[in-house]
Structure 1
Amino acid sequence: MRGLQRDPREFTKERIVETASRYGLGAEAEVPTANRRSISDALVTGPGGIRIGWEIQYHHLSPSSVHRRSVNAVQHDITPLWVAKDRTASLIDRAPWARVDDMPWKNIAGGKEMVIRGGYRYLQVWKCVPSSNRHCLLSDGAGHCGGVHSDWFVPALCEPEKRAVHLEDLVLESATRESVPVYVPNRGSGRAGRHMWVPSADCERWRELIGEEEPLPDFPVQEGDDEITFAEQEVDRTCRAGEEGWFVSDARPIRDLGQPTGGFTLARMPAQRSRNPMLITAVERAAASAALGCPPWELGPCSECGQLMRRYGRDAAMFCRVCRAVLNG
């Protein structure tokens, strides 16, 4: 007799609850909010009463439903965490989210690793000079502006490459605030942006760089549901089983592209004006420290141009790289 088909969503939910319990966290399945307008598939409670409402959504759900349920959770002091398995899922970037591989229920129940493929990022900060492997955010990749850039990247695109985050990692880190949700608006538009989970240390550094003391808003604007349109193309009847990617016959475009967010740029590496360190702002000092990879107390002025550089401590020098190159002719 053919075996019964089981729902991967149910086994993902069980795995989250079991993982949380193993870490000593509070965990329940199918928990309604106080007003019973929504139900968390798994509610994980961490130290200090931090509550993470896991929503396992492996099928299509309208954007308005994602927004409504997420806002309802936040109003009841629950941080929503939506899980998708499809790069076209409409919940992506409409609330804090994470994407895992599409896998059979037996693999989920059997403990096969569930890597977070999308929705988790690390902050990267770099000085825009010819020796940098990153391109300039201000000149469309051509030339180098000498400023300090920062942006959010998926683990595989970090330099050096960062560790992959697994489902079990996020269960623990979200409940202990080692990882936190962040919303980053697109450049030039406050009405759209990226939701992501990030290390809390990266979040703090990001706030220092942009001069924000409080978290950016999680749900800035309610979006309408996806429109259903007729493309006037013949239906693609080719079997696509086992193939990856997006095809003309697909109902929705890919939303999880893994691209950077657009980033933030400090106009240039700050010069130590009049040799007075008190004139350097906290944002400038944080940016210089992050870009140069040294603690703030090792910063000092280049003896030639006056820009902040790693002047003290190990691997310190009197001149920045640019001035050394000029002086060495």
Structure 2
Amino acid sequence: MAKDRTASLIDRAAWARVDDMPWKDIAGGREMVIRGGYRHLEVWRCVPSSDRHCLLSEGAGHCGGMHADWFLPALCQLERKPVHLEDLVVSSATGESVPVYVPNRGSGRAGRHMRVTATDRDLWKELVGEKKSLPVPEQEEGDETTFADQEIDRTCRAGDEGWFVSDSRPIRDLGQPTGGFTLPRMPARHSERPMLITSVERAAAAAALGCTVWELGPCAECGQLMRRYGRNAGRVCAVCRALLNRR
């Protein structure tokens, strides 16, 4: 647990940040909301109608693929309730909340530790094929975990080199997305031959569309997975329907 966005414990292991509350508020029963370190997995199709940006494009383009990334509860498209410390303790003990380590895009040595739901963790592992255990975090040069409650150092350090306790630490809890994971867009169907769709693609599409795997099917126009069966099903996807309406 940490109460400071610059705490050196952040991203060294699974962590959570709460507000710096007076002990009287805590003793009085005021709930402690988790402000950082707990995230939810969201999966979406990268199309013009999506409210999220493409993870592969720096501009406003859309790749047509499936994206998955971790977001704070307040930044989720689906409504997520705030997580309280008491609930996190219980859910961690029961296995409903679990630790996850997500490497940064393009860098296997750096990444983010967080706590997530077991359901989101299982889906993430299925999408990325992750089978490795949590790595041992590397100690940064000149950055040690120290006890903050100490006497003020009144010595002038102007001109000296090195890191001192009185120096300000960089913000570690930035609250930004992790960089996520992208599944490539399935090729367009050019024949009547059945399309081979992997279990990973089915899991990602089901999560993005908010339906079960058995409700999925190919769009009659582009061949992309869509909600083809069950309630609120259709024959063509929303993108193709919009294109057809313009004709």
Question: TM-score range with shorter-chain normalisation?
Answer: 0.7 to 0.9
- Equivalenced residues, count: 228
Deviation at 1:291, TM superposition (A): 1.4
- Where does 1:32-111 land on structure 2 (aligned, <5 Å)? 83-111=1-29
Distance 1:269 1:205 in 2: 19
Provide the secondary structure at the position in 1 that maps to 2:109.
Answer: coil
Report if the CA contact (8 A) 2:104-2:178 is conserved: yes
How many Å apart are 1:324 and its aligned residue?
Answer: 1.3
| Cα drift, residue 207 of structure 1 | 1.0
Identity of aligned residues (%): 71
Q: Of residues 111, 115, 121 in structure 2, which corresponds to 1:197?
A: 115
Counterpart of 2:62 (choices 138, 141, 144) is 144
Which one-letter code corresponds to 1:127 in the other structure?
Answer: R
Residue 187 of structure 2 corresponds to residue 263 of structure 1: no
Q: Give the partner amino acid of 2:216.
A: L
Q: Does 1:302 align with 2:245?
A: no
- 2:135 is matched with which residue? 219
Deviation at 1:218, TM superposition (A): 2.2
The aligned residue for residue 312 of structure 1 is: 229
What TM-score, normalized by structure 2, do the two folds share? 0.85
Written as runs of structure 1 = structure 2, the 5 A alignment for 1:173-192 is 173-192=91-110
Aligned-pair distance for 1:107?
A: 1.4
Q: 1:162 to 1:137 in 2, by over 3 A?
A: same
The aligned amino acid for 2:178 is T
Quote how far apart the aligned CAs of 1:91 are. 0.6
Give the structure with the larger helix fraction: 1
Higher relative CO (Cα under 8 Å, sequence separation at least 6) belongs to 2
Distance 1:141 1:209 in 2: 25
SS of equivalent to 2:37: coil
Do 1:302 and 1:308's aligned partners in 2 also have CA atoms closer than 8 Å?
yes
Aligned AA for 1:207? K
SS at match of 2:16: strand
Structure-2 separation of matches of 1:226 and 1:87? 19
The match for 1:253 is 170
Please give the alpha-carbon distance, in whole angstroms, between the structure 1 residues aligned to 2:52 and 2:211: 19
Could you state the TM-score of these two structures normalised by the residue count of structure 1?
Answer: 0.65
Q: 1:158 to 1:141 in 2, by over 3 A?
A: farther
SS at match of 1:207: helix
Tell me how far 1:180 sits from its aligned partner: 0.3
| Contact in 2 for aligned 1:127/1:269 (Cα 8 Å) | no
CA distance in 2 between partners of 1:167 and 1:270 (Å) = 45
Distance in 1 between residues matched to 2:47 and 2:101, nearest whole Å: 29
- Partner SS state of residue 84, structure 1: coil
- Superposition deviation, residue 287 in structure 1: 1.1
Q: Deviations over 1:251-283 (max 9, x none)?
A: 101100110000000011566785536x21111
